[in-house]
Amino acid sequence: MFEGTAIGYPGTTGGEICFNTGMTGYQEIYTDPSYYGQIVVNTTSHIGNYGTVDSEQESDHPQIKGLIVNDYADVHSRNTANSSLQEYLEKYQITGIANIDTRMLVRHIRSKGAMNGIITSVLDESQLQGELKKVPSMEGLELASVVSTTKPYTVGEGNKIKVAVLDLGVKKSILKNLADRGCECKVFPAKTSFKEIKDWGADGYFLSNGPGDPAVMDYAVDTVNEMFAEDKAIFGICLGHQIIARSQDIGTYKMHHGHRGLNHPIKNLISGLSEITSQNHGFAISEIDVENSKKVEATHINLNDDTIEGLSVNGKNAFSVQYHPEASPGPHDSRYLFDQFVENIKK
């Protein structure tokens, strides 16, 4: 048990604890739907020092369940900020704790693996274990449909290339990158029937990032298999990558503590070049299944642990990556993948 200073909204919250090593971009982290159901530990010491800006939201509101930081800034330096981080957390009722030895906590997670935790400013010690038991395990949890849009909407309206986006928890920066490349994106709820998606007449299909366990998302796998029957260009990121893998009989598993940060090195096996990438995932696809498969080829690997970071599907105009090429905030080494998708559509 760690004791610190209450920040954000007073109360109690629980979720899976994970850590992000990014030096910047805390607001983008908190609003990434892939973090739904999780308590984020920022390993950067100073959090809140540049406030929050409405235009830097990756979704309409924070998705995290709680926040753990070391040095929490009550004041911010950026004149263009719309609010302080404290005002932001209070507005969206996000409970957090500061003045924690985050290095010690991260070492514990790296040693013991991902685990659930709670943050409280109102409960006494005798109530903590009972509250912790109420927090569900991330393994076996379907969350994409929880964070997905409830009705279709369009980004980049009027652009010539039509891309149907299956929203499993999509980030706004992803849609912006596609729109900037001439794509009109129609974003569909996670459980939309393929008939409805197909009737829109897309030139290509995109499968977004998102939270939860891909192993329990058979509905999305079925949709992807129907997309493959259309023989159009397909691109998947993060959870979308895992769903594409599952559609090709590649299994998934929960990682020991996941990859979350802005400095993860991967190698492009096609070009031979390395990239520094932005990542946020607690599940991965089976390396053994990929090695033994005749349906897919690995295109990218993680240089830290050799996990599979990219796939291409044999005989199909489809590829996917485990990391985030939109990388908001950076690095932007991998944004060429959006260009590759657009070129695949044009072919």
Q: Among 66, 83, 65, which residue's Cα sits nearest to residue 75? A: 83
Q: What is the pLDDT along the chain (347 residues), one digit of tens a residue?
A: 899 999 999 999 999 999 999 999 999 999 999 999 999 999 998 999 999 999 999 999 999 999 999 999 988 989 999 999 999 999 999 999 999 999 999 999 999 999 999 999 999 989 999 999 999 999 999 999 999 999 999 999 999 999 999 999 999 999 999 999 999 999 999 999 999 999 999 999 999 999 999 999 999 999 999 999 998 999 999 999 999 999 999 999 999 999 999 999 999 999 999 999 999 999 999 999 999 999 999 999 999 999 999 999 999 999 999 999 999 888 999 999 999 999 999 98
The interaxial angle of helices 218-230 and 239-247, nearest 10 deg, is 70
Q: Do domains 5-132 and 144-346 have the same CATH topology?
A: no
In the set 238, 259, 264, 309, the catalytic residue is 238
Active site residue 257: no
Q: Letter for the amino acid at 228?
A: F
Domain ranges of the chain: 5-132, 144-346
Give catalytic status of residue 326 as yes or no: yes
Tokens of 107: 């070492």
The token pair at 56 is 């830097």
Q: Is 189 helix (H, G, I), strand (E, B) or coil?
A: coil
185 among known catalytic residues: no
Whether the CA torsion 90, 96, 102, 106 is positive or negative: it is negative
CATH number of 5-132: 3.50.30.20
Is the CATH number of domain 144-346 3.40.640.10?
Answer: no
Give 212's DSSP letter.
Answer: B
